[in-house]
Structures are given as C-alpha cells and as structure tokens.
Amino acid sequence: MAETGRIHSIETCGTVDGPGIRYVIFFQGCPLRCRYCHNPDTWDRHKGQEITIPELLADIGDYKSFMDYSGGGVTASGGEPLMQAEFVADLFAACQKRSIHTALDTSGYTSLEKAKRLLSYTNLVLLDIKSYNPQTFQHISSVPIEPVINFLEYLKSKQIPAWIRFVLVPGLSDHKPDIQQMAAYLKGFSNIERIDVLPFHKIGEYKWKELGYAYDLTDTQPPSSQELTDVKLIFQNYGFQV
C-alpha cells in the first residue's frame, strides 16, 4: 500500500472526465511530453502536494450525493496517474467499497504489470490515443506507441469499458488515412463505448512560457468545424458513438 500520493490539483464538480458529476484528481508526474499538452506543470513527479487516501476520501465524501444523483464518481487524471498506480489502485479500491464509480484518464503508457491491479478496480478507462501511426505518435508524445497498444489490448481481453479520446491537431494528427486505420483497428474492440474527437486548443500555451519550455504550436490554429465533422464521420462510419 502506498501511504501518500502526489497530486497537482482537484476539480470537485467535473463534467467532462467521465459520466455524471466527477471528483477529478490530477496526479503529478508524466512520462510523455506531448507537443500540445495543456498541463506541462504536471510533468515533474516531484512537484505538487502530498496527500493521503483518508484525506481524499474525507473530501470525496462531501460530494457523494452529487455523484449518486448524476451517475458520476471519481476520476484519476493527470499528468499520468499510472505513474502512481499503487496509490491510485488503493484509492479506487476504497471508492468501490463505498459504491463510487471509478474512471482512469490515461495515456496508457505503462508496463501492464504495474497497471493490472489498478485496472481491477477501474470501472471505466478514458484512453487518449495520439495517433495510430507509430511515427506520428512518437513525434507527438516523445514515447513509442507499443505500450499503449498493449494496454488497449489488455482492456479488450478483460472487457473493461473504455472511451477513446483523440485530439485533432491540424498538421499533426489530422492525416485522414491514419485516422481511417485507427477507426478500422478499434472496430474490433467491443469494450469501446464511445470516441471523443477533441479539437486542439492553446489554452495551456502560457504555462509553457512560464516554465521556460519551447512551445512549437504557436502558429497552429484549432481545426475548423468542417474538419471536426469529417473526422467524426470517419469513426461514425465504423459504427462508433462519437
């Protein structure tokens, strides 16, 4: 059991990180360096604040009536919560004992051995896939795609419900043949409940500058509504709820 975890922040009434009203915990630390990351201040594993599971549960309890009414629960996000898999597993186990729905918002970049116990206490996985093209994936994230594919295949083998998140970045992740291949591959996963196509934004650009990081997407514009519609249609044509 991990006695303490390290978190960046908490959102007590989130509505976009899983079903219903969510208590969202943003964990500190991430092994990826995504070019469009809007939370680069979560990268450093040693920053943030330490917290215990009893402290979290005491605060979560204040919002349980909202979760119960809305069909919500607790979401572990980041950063990358899988970097603190043992702590999150203990937290999720405690949540499930209290009949609280658990969701893991993750890149899926980890070793399966580290993730398996946590996934056994996870009701829903929100998996962010940068691209299905291995070269593009690594260009965006700075890490290889293979661990993410292994993670996705494990979710399928255990029939753990998943929502796929795909960020559409003009000139970076918008190559239509790659998106077509992703949709064709994912069609074989009966555990995938929906796909969220998210438009690129630059909300976190100022954080890069404050932290002294070079942000190379300053001149990149969000996708047009037509571009979003076209990509959504690709996934819909394969039978996905988008």
pLDDT mean across residues, the chain:
95
DSSP secondary structure, 32-76, as one string: ---TT-S-GGG--TT-SEEEEHHHHHHHHHTTHHHHHHHT-EEEE
Task: Please count the other Cβ atoms lying within 10 Å of the Cβ belonging to residue 143.
Answer: 17
Q: What is the mean pLDDT of residues 90-95?
A: 97
What per-residue confidence (pLDDT) applies to 150?
Answer: 97
What residue type is assigned to position 220 of the chain? Answer: T
What per-residue confidence (pLDDT) applies to 203?
Answer: 86
**Scanning the structure block, which residue is given the tokens 């934004």?**
201
pLDDT in tens, 126-157: 999 999 999 999 999 999 999 999 999 999 99
From the candidate CATH numbers 3.30.70.2740, 3.90.550.60, 3.20.20.70, 3.40.50.2020, the one assigned to the domain spanning 4-236: 3.20.20.70
What per-residue confidence (pLDDT) applies to 123?
Answer: 98
Cis check: omega of the bond before 18, within 30 degrees of 0: no
| Residue 237 pLDDT greater than 80, yes or no | yes
Q: Domain segments of the chain: what residues?
A: 4-236
| Residue 65 pLDDT greater than 70, yes or no | yes
pLDDT in tens, 200-214: 998 888 999 899 999
What per-residue confidence (pLDDT) applies to 1?
Answer: 66
- Residue 224 is given by DSSP the state P
- According to DSSP, the β-strands at 73-77 and 192-199 are unpaired
- Three-state DSSP at 157 gives helix
| Residue 3 pLDDT greater than 90, yes or no | no
What per-residue confidence (pLDDT) applies to 200?
Answer: 94
Calpha distance 4→184 (Å, rounded): 41
What per-residue confidence (pLDDT) applies to 229?
Answer: 97
What sign results for the dihedral spanned by CA atoms 95, 24, 151, 29? negative
Q: What is the mean pLDDT of residues 58-76?
A: 96
Q: What is the mean pLDDT of residues 66-91?
A: 96
What per-residue confidence (pLDDT) applies to 95?
Answer: 97
